């Protein structure tokens, strides 16, 4: 992944939203169990918790 993360529909492959915030490559992502949050970890040593509407 690049320094931004992308959220999409797994069934269709449709891009829903691009999340910008990391300054280096994103190396991991994880969804919350309720699907309302996405956590992304980056090579820039940051973790961002994204609220997904």
pLDDT tens, position by position, 1-28: 445 556 666 677 777 778 899 999 999 9
- Answer with the residue of higher pLDDT: 29 or 13: 29
CA distances (Å), 11 to each of 28, 33, 51, in order?
21, 18, 21
In the chain, the number of structural domains is: 1
How big is the chain by its Cα radius of gyration, in Å?
11
- pLDDT attached to residue 27: 93
Range of the domain at 22: 4-51
Residues contacting 6, CB < 8 A, separation 6+: 15, 17, 18, 19
Note the pTM of the prediction, 2 decimals. 0.72
In angstroms, the first-to-last Cα distance of the chain is 22
Q: What is the mean pLDDT of residues 30-49?
A: 94
- The yes-or-no verdict on residue 44 having pLDDT over 90 is yes
- pLDDT attached to residue 14: 75
- Reduced to 3 states (helix: H, G, I; strand: E, B; else coil), residue 22 is coil
């Amino acid at each position: 992944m690049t320094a931004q993360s992308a959220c999409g529909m797994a069934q269709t492959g449709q891009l829903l939203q691009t999340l910008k915030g990391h300054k280096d490559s994103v190396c991991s992502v994880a969804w919350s169990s309720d699907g309302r949050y996405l956590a992304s970890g980056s090579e820039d040593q940051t973790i961002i918790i994204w609220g997904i509407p």
